Structure 1
Amino acid sequence: MPFIRAERSRLRKWLLTNLPIQWGKHVTEIHHDDAGVEVFFKDGTSAKGDIVVGADGVYSPVRTHLLQRPSSDLLQVVPLSAIVGELTLSGDAFERQLALGHSAYNLINPELGFIGFVGLHYVLPDGKSGRFYWMFMQPDAEVNDSQHWLQTSTQQEKLAHVLQTTAGLPPKLREIFELTPAEGIRKEPHIWRDLELDSLPSSRVVLLGDAAHAMTPSRGEGAFHAFIDAIKLAKVLAQLDADGDFHDITAVKTAVAGYHEEMLRRGGAAVRASRSSYQDAQKRAEDGNHFITGMKQLSNEPIVLAS
């Protein structure tokens, strides 16, 4: 199956084309009844409408209101530590990274002791350099401990740990880590959390994306399912509007129930698949081959930048 990857900030900017956005809004309350819904914000303003769509991420305030349960009760910590680095490469080093993967590549092997992901943020205007980032992840059941070493270590100490762990890699695969300066290491540790919900109430409040089914990035499916959610929900809302049913609470609840049921079934399967995928990356099958099927070697395709 083809894998399409997009740089998130550029994708978001494109999606915002011609949309009037009010930034800095923080939901404090949501009131909804048979007649409609009103959302109240921290700045003292409010907005009224027919439907509230909670597409507000892993720590969704809309979800908290809808379920009357805090995120801490619902989110599961994924036992996987992560160190993140960023750097700019140019010239031959830039070419070598593009040869390994034009957009991104993974380092996955049970013997490595870590899972690696390297991605190209964007190519700079000169066409001969680019901004990269990488994630270095290891199984770690204590990652959420407030005394975890990643909570207190310096950027240099984090980088030293990565360099020590990757020292056995071939030079072309460890180069991205060795070229990263200490100041390119993200200071705060990244803790992955996922979310699997069995059901959602049917009302004028609906959820989509990470607010409903946050998942690890191991399969790269989080944004994909958010898009599917949005497309399916848009069709449901368009039909309610066409039928003039937005003021019929029974019709609204029926439509929302159908959307939520399909979305949670599909999204929950993706959450479980993503969760098992990072676990499978650390295994070998009984025949000795990598447990994950469909793995391919890096192409190492020669790259020549235009002069």
Structure 2
Amino acid sequence: MAGPHVLIIGAGLGGTSLAQALRKRGIPFSLFERDTFEGARFQGWAISLHSWITSDLLESTKGDLPDLGTVGITAHLGVPSEGAILNGEDTSEIRRFSEGPGFQFIRADRAKLRSWLLTNIQIKWNKRFTHYEENEDGIQAFFEDGTSYKGDILVGADGISSRVRHQLLPYANTGTNRLNLGVIMGEVIAPEEQYRRWSEIAASFYVGVSDGRRIFVGLKSIADDQKSAQYYWMYTWSDQQASQESYWTAKASKEELHTFVMNHLEGLHPTLTEPIRETPVKGMLQPPLQMKDMVPPELPTGRVTLLGDAIHPMTPFFQGEGGCQAMKDSMSLARFIEALPSNGKGVQNALEKYHNEMRPRAKESVLRSRAAT
């Protein structure tokens, strides 16, 4: 079918999901990305795909994409994805995630998932969005290189620092909520004997929680010869001062970050903290993350909308829903656009229906994730 031309700003998981959902429906779109090529920027380590999102992804994409299971971190080894949430003091199990009858669970490599979503999608690379101009006949997007493109709908899928949101909702740019949560992260390469021992806890990742502290340990990759594996981890703790932009971790050296973590593992089970204790100083990551979220605000009526972190950033602590909710936004939006007549009339009404579906769903997810910190 023909339909309104959709301009998508940002080719992350949300923007590429929207492109695929529109492609399946035969709706014209243009996808713009600030990066110069696919691998220009680190895409993050991994994301958990549960049945509620995998079923929607498969329904919303054409049949010419590879098997979705190939994006799993250990798919090439035939090892199923598995995660666990444990008591950080005695390792007793709180919850376990794994594939079972009627339930698909994929611990996906984020770069592989993005490549999967880029299948048969044309991207306009090196396009840094500056602003848009809207009138009753359509919308025009402008870029730093002096180019501009016209369309009927503009979608900001450009992340937590969204330039689209900055213009659409200037009052909301200070609305991101800095959480009272200190964060330190690290990476470590583990030899076979070590990583196989760690994978016995859970093949893909595990979380240990105890008295305001939380550790997350995740598998990034296993070497082709299976002699070593790369892990990453996150240590978090509650601190009222952590919501300040000048919190001490922002300027701390690797040595200071390393010393702090090693001095604050007492009381956590040594089986769970071993990957952290095995991390050398050079494995500390700088600068540490500062956790932010935002309950999605009301959006004005018009031809512009937002999805994912551009409208509802959230912490990764409730099943890592941020990326999945961005993809859910995309597929919901595509369905409302599909319902428009081929002459493109009714854009504002379609976007309002999307907002009415997205905002309560995303708000619930933001608040659940915040409560889980």
TM-score category (smaller protein): 0.7 to 0.9
Supply the distance in 2 between the matched residues of 1:169 and 1:68 (Cα, whole angstroms): 44
Q: Secondary structure at the match of 1:130?
A: strand
Aligned to 2:322: 222
Is 2:241 aligned against 1:125? no
Q: CA deviation at 1:158?
A: 0.5
| Correspondence for 2:187 among 83, 86, 99 | 86
Aligned to 1:9: 111
Is 2:123 aligned against 1:21? yes
CA displacement 1:114-144 (0-9 Å, x = unmatched) = 2111111122221232211101111122124
TM-score normalised by the chain length of structure 2: 0.69
What are the within-5 Å matches in structure 2 for residues 49-68 of structure 1? 49-68=151-170
Q: CA deviation at 1:53?
A: 1.1
Report percent identity of matched pairs. Answer: 37
Supply the distance in 2 between the matched residues of 1:275 and 1:70 (Cα, whole angstroms): 19
Aligned to 1:295: none
Is 2:359 aligned against 1:260? no
Q: CA deviation at 1:152?
A: 2.6
Supply the distance in 1 between the matched residues of 2:223 and 2:140 (Cα, whole angstroms): 44
Listed as ranges, the gaps of 5+ residues in structure 2 are 1-49, 51-96, 98-104
Assess, with a 3 A threshold, how the Cα gap between structure 1 residues 70 and 266 changes in structure 2: closer, same or farther.
closer
CA displacement 1:188-217 (0-9 Å, x = unmatched) = 121011011331112111111111111111
Supply the distance in 2 between the matched residues of 1:30 and 1:163 (Cα, whole angstroms): 49
Q: CA deviation at 1:79?
A: 1.0
Mean CA deviation greater in 98-107 or 60-69 = 60-69
Letter in 1 for 2:170: Q
Is 2:373 aligned against 1:274? no
Letter in 1 for 2:208: L
Aligned to 1:36: 138
Q: Secondary structure at the match of 1:142?
A: helix
Assess, with a 3 A threshold, how the Cα gap between structure 1 residues 34 and 12 changes in structure 2: closer, same or farther.
same
Q: Secondary structure at the match of 1:218?
A: coil
Aligned to 1:137: 236
Aligned to 2:261: 162
Assess, with a 3 A threshold, how the Cα gap between structure 1 residues 183 and 64 changes in structure 2: closer, same or farther.
same
Is 2:175 aligned against 1:77? no
| Correspondence for 2:196 among 95, 98, 107 | 95
Assess, with a 3 A threshold, how the Cα gap between structure 1 residues 203 and 134 changes in structure 2: closer, same or farther.
same
Aligned to 2:272: 173
Q: CA deviation at 1:88?
A: 1.5
Letter in 2 for 1:230: S
Letter in 2 for 1:140: D
Structure possessing the higher radius of gyration over alpha carbons: 1
Q: CA deviation at 1:183?
A: 1.1
Q: CA deviation at 1:51?
A: 1.2
Following TM superposition, the consecutive aligned residue runs of length 4 or more in structure 1 with deviations greater than 4 angstroms are none
Aligned to 2:342: 244
Conserved in 2, the CA contact under 8 Å of 1:94 and 1:128?
A: no
Q: Secondary structure at the match of 1:82?
A: strand
Q: CA deviation at 1:171?
A: 2.9
Letter in 1 for 2:205: A
CA displacement 1:61-88 (0-9 Å, x = unmatched) = 11111113362x2211011110010111
Conserved in 1, the CA contact under 8 Å of 2:172 and 2:297?
A: no
Is 2:330 aligned against 1:235? no
Q: Secondary structure at the match of 2:372?
A: helix
Conserved in 1, the CA contact under 8 Å of 2:251 and 2:287?
A: no
Q: Secondary structure at the match of 1:186?
A: coil
Alignment size in residue pairs: 270
Letter in 2 for 1:188: P
Q: CA deviation at 1:179?
A: 1.2
CA displacement 1:248-284 (0-9 Å, x = unmatched) = 2xx1111100001110111011111111121xxxxxx
Aligned to 2:59: none
Assess, with a 3 A threshold, how the Cα gap between structure 1 residues 142 and 253 changes in structure 2: closer, same or farther.
same
Conserved in 2, the CA contact under 8 Å of 1:83 and 1:136?
A: yes
CA displacement 1:138-187 (0-9 Å, x = unmatched) = 11221243543212321011111111111443332221011111111112
